[in-house]
Structure 1
């Protein structure tokens, strides 16, 4: 086992396990070095779990049972997540016993989930120390800020996380169980369900879907059917698309269109700010940060800003500003990389020695940062 001096010299790795993708890399870099789907599979008749490149090869050559270990931002299978973490460490050419690990966690992560992650990392894999931190908070760090409201629209869930002076206002965090996957499913459904493969519907979303300025007005317009050549999957030929390209994303603002009795993302932003101290609300309205690949949808930032302005109290509406960095699908990982380099968090890491001595009590005392 490496000494404390050797461990101190090893750069931590940062792992962001989302519902759709896993991003991992050695801290200190501007971008992660590894990205893969958050999927684990088992080949028929084989006990070995397959992830990453091994999964891709098996999918192409055999009948495999594929399952996601993370659903709507919550870990549902810790055994599979352990395999993903081991794969990340291996692909980054690191030794578990020598490498500190920062794991990004969902803004609504439970104590039980955090304790299970600590058990995997410190007990099963034997890493020397770990740190966990909210993905929303780290996205803000990645943008160079300490205060703001982070709107994260991921693969299967949307979170709104208010942060004041680097601290998450836990009681004000909002959650909507809809994300990019659900928009893709709406597009797929508009094309007869399984008649359009999911990957094709996803390409339609990524290339032509957009958020309408005014949904009712847009719905009243004549919409000529158009064609999209799916270049990545030439066997799919010409793909026709129509008004589903703006109707599908509308579920983020009106979840009832997806059969959910829930508030839209703009209403969640308003509610999150309302639950924060009155004297800080104007500051939060002026710093609404977008993160997650789904926020790259055309016109999403502009529509969100308009809707929040309509809800904001008199005197605050003009202050509303939505910030949409170009690389916002990676900003949470970048924030984690930045955090690992801060000397001020050196004492925040939970060491294996502390965990071995006090178990879950040490987890509750020191995590998350």
Structure 2
């Protein structure tokens, strides 16, 4: 049996919530992603966050993430960007074991779609462009081009 001291488990969790010069914290990443969405969807997104994966099952993870996001929403940078959003809610999947596999299931379903070829890039494309395209604009372009839509 492997016994992991509590201090090690705490340090592991803290890495998710602490920012430094090299990385942003998970709460910052959530708010940055929401800010990049259309303004009329932001409040709804923050009221329906789905967390998946084993890390999210750590005791107190939901409460800590909610508290950190709410705290950041009062910071001038995010208050200016996101207005007066004051709530954060999580959508809980009906079965807690699904939380462990939901991201894999979603990826598996997406991988089985014909549209995958329009939302993929090769290593050569990545090296040439240096960034991932805005897939939302590709959906728009795909709908305009009958040859690309199926």
**TM over 0.5, shorter chain:** yes
- Which of 295, 299, 302 is equivalent to 2:56? 295
Choose which of 300, 304, 317 in structure 1 pairs with 2:65.
Answer: 304
Please state if 1:241 is matched with 2:24.
no
Greater strand content: 1
Count of equivalent residues: 111
What's the CA shift string for 1:52-104, capped at 9, x where partnerless?
Answer: xxxxxxxxxxxxxxxxxxxxxxxxxxxxxxxxxxxxxxxxxxxxxxxxxxxxx
Q: Equivalent of 1:251, from 15, 22, 25?
A: 15
Bigger radius of gyration among the two: 1
Aligned-pair Cα RMSD in Å:
3.4
Q: Distance in 2 between matches of 1:275 and 1:250?
A: 26
Q: Structure 1's 267 and 336: CA in aligned 2 closer, same or farther, altered over 3 A?
A: closer
TM-score (norm 1): 0.26
Give the structure 2 partner of residue 322 of structure 1: 90
In 1, the alpha carbon distance for the partners of 2:34 and 2:4 equals 41
Contact 1:291–1:324 (Cα < 8 Å) also in 2: no
Match status 1:264 vs 2:29: no
In structure 1, distance between residues paired with 2:111 and 2:24? 35
Task: Give me the whole-angstrom Cα distance separating, in 2, the residues matched to 1:277 and 1:269.
Answer: 15
Kindly provide the CA deviation profile for residues 162-204 of structure 1, in whole angstroms up to 9, marking residues without a partner as x. xxxxxxxxxxxxxxxxxxxxxxxxxxxxxxxxxxxxxxxxxxx
Summarize the Cα distance change of 1:297–1:242 in structure 2 as closer, same or farther, 3 Å threshold.
closer
List structure 1 runs of 4+ shifted beyond 6 angstroms.
364-367
1: CA distance between counterparts of 2:65 and 2:108?
A: 28
Which residue, 333, 336, 360 being the options, matches 2:104? Answer: 333
Tell me how far 1:306 sits from its aligned partner.
1.3
| Alpha-carbon spacing, 1:244–1:280, altered in 2? closer, same or farther (3 Å) | same
Q: CA deviation at 1:242?
A: 4.3
Structure 2 gaps of 5+ residues are 74-78, 118-124, 126-137
More helix by share: 2
CA drift of 1:255 comes to 4.1
Identify unmatched segments of 5+ residues in structure 1.
1-229, 234-238, 351-359
CA 1:349–1:255: 2 relative to 1, 3 Å: closer
